[in-house]
Chains A and B, each alone.
Chain A
């Protein structure tokens, strides 16, 4: 172990919770108090005077004490923030729905400012009548509501080379999960009279990158949505306001934002985003293309490096997220000893197709070290693989689609670190 000594542990001062624990295990608990708690026995301002009136925040933001629950960027990953990515603070969230305001962003030419009144959607190519829709037109089609996760194909990509970024936000935060309201793409294609012989649709956005992608017709007719609401309200600018594509279970790059054109074709375009990027290079140098589905995956979100245990031994809630682009999550197992033994976790709700599932394992922590892992299974019988299993098949250069089992080393003082185990 000596070769892995950490030279500058003090740099991790951002783990303010962990730092507090490091100073000595905190045993504060109201039940054990010897002296009366001033927060109870002394009168407090908030219990005497007024709080804010109803119009203080016409559109509310989280209270200032939650100010560290924010998207974060890893600057050295990209050259420029307008063609870059940031990460959802999954370590600090619970439940499954991601609030729009902290849901990760990925732009190729920046988040554009596009008014509903300036919005146009064109359907052309192999159709009876090429059509143009306004935003208002879209609102007149029958619409559906679905909860789906959107995961960037590069989520956890840094882990191919080994344990690198120290936090669930950075290793697994290129994901969000929202309830979308939108029109099935199938209905729009029917409206234009698509040629049933057409094998593909090419979709592109209104931004400068256009981010064009080819989607097989079978998927387009199945569950793809042209969405304009998320979690009940308009999409945020950074997620494609006013209209984006939702491609359930498939890599986030295909969820074209600010979607402006859908072309029915016989051939895939083989655009930049589906050849030079979002293709997965194997050890022998050949690359997989059209790796659209996101395989089953899970991660413990707490405890984790940014969410250390601060309460000492005793009751501990281990929790995390699981998802699969191939169907519903049916089971999640958790290991506390690096994969030697596993316990089946409790799912907060039965898994839903192509949506995040929250799991809990409620344990009595004895205060000893843990090597925490989680392993998801989906309705197809697929079992989330280990890093070693993935590398054996794919090598180290795939960049995308890393759905490995993640390990957090939780120390006796409650601090956690991203590690790799044998």
Chain B
């Protein structure tokens, strides 16, 4: 094919590939109602547009935080296990392992309000009142030693607050800082005198073991002993169970119950009362719990009560990051509630 013909073909192909052009509106969709926009349009930008009227202080925030946030983020916003740490890390950003928290890293306080209001608590998103969010944000600031505990944060003074790392960001400058040095004809031969291995992945050894029976689920359940013989089905105290349903809100971000329940960060709890420990199919238990299951642990009411009171003390190494139910009445109520799920 001559050069001329080839370019003609390309030109023709290109015209056939043109993107759709829409000269006029198609009249698709319908007008969004104000109530619909209000129901979804919650975002708050860095200028504070969208901040609702309200207020809260760290003292109130501490209580809300303990109930709704501390299971993951810790009582002092210090973060449990791999969950995000919200406090600390001041002046660490240029260190080897910077600790990036709301206090040490986030440039805008509005981001905290926006995110907590729309996406928290984890597993129960969008359920906090505007005042509760102000109180939680105040508590996080307090945990970062940025305000006193009685400082009342509100829509009126929110934008006055300057975050410690507000000036710590620059807009992407890779094009100026990098592209010029990483371009052009690269070296093809004799590019360096010698090559030595300086680090090996096998030394660190952090790669997950691959299951050769691919697709097979973890066989943790097989190690669990048979469930104890069904005890006489005790009558359920429905009033106590109803109280337990309220207590269970603290458990809901990790545990599900009922017909459609699925394993989350905690196992499904249907039928847990009286069942053999570690027996929910498909859930990956901690080694501590698998060991206890192997030793024949049955979740009797007494064992469950002890576990729920102080999970980490009862079972060292448990994955359950929950601090525990301090009140005996709460322990009993939640167990009664769990009994209602077979």
Which residues of A does B touch, CB under 8 Å? 1, 4, 6-9, 11-14, 16, 67-70, 72-83, 108-110, 122-125, 129-134, 137, 140-144, 162-167, 170, 184, 187, 190-193, 202, 204, 208-210, 212, 260-261, 263, 265, 267-272, 275-276, 279, 281, 283-293, 295, 305-306, 333, 337-342, 371, 375, 377, 380-385, 389, 393, 396-397, 409, 417-422
Contacts and interface: CB of A to CB of B under 8 A. Distances in A.
A165 B207 contact: yes
B106 interface: yes
A422 B195 contact: yes
Contacts, number: 294
Interface stretch (B181-189, B239-247, B334-342): B181-189
A409 to B, nearest CB: 6
Contact of B203 (A6, A12, A275): A6
B-side binding surface: helix, strand, loop or mixed? loop
B208 A208 contact: no
Given A70-B215, A340-B192, A396 B172 contact: no
Contacts of B160: none
A276 B106 contact: yes
B44 to A, nearest CB: 7
Interface residues of B, number: 91
Given A208-B125, A268-B46, A342-B187, A417 B212 contact: no
Contacts of A193: 25
Best-surrounded residue of A76, A144, A261, A384 (most CB of chain B within 10 A): A261
Chain B CB within 10 Å — which of A9, A270, A421 has the most?
Answer: A270
B31 A291 contact: no
Contacts of B189: 340-342
Which residue of A73, A288, A375 has the most chain B CB atoms within 10 A of its CB atom?
Answer: A288
Contacts of B110: 270
B232 interface: no
Contacts of B122: 83, 109
Given A212-B118, A339-B191, A163 B200 contact: yes
A300 to B, nearest CB: 15
Nearest to A167: B207
Interface of B: 19-20, 22, 25-26, 28-32, 36-37, 40-41, 43-47, 49, 72, 81-83, 93-94, 96-98, 100, 102, 105-108, 110-111, 114-115, 118-119, 122-123, 125-126, 168-174, 177-179, 181-184, 186-192, 194-215, 264-265, 284
A290 B172 contact: yes
A287 B19 contact: no
B200 A270 contact: no
A88 to B, nearest CB: 15
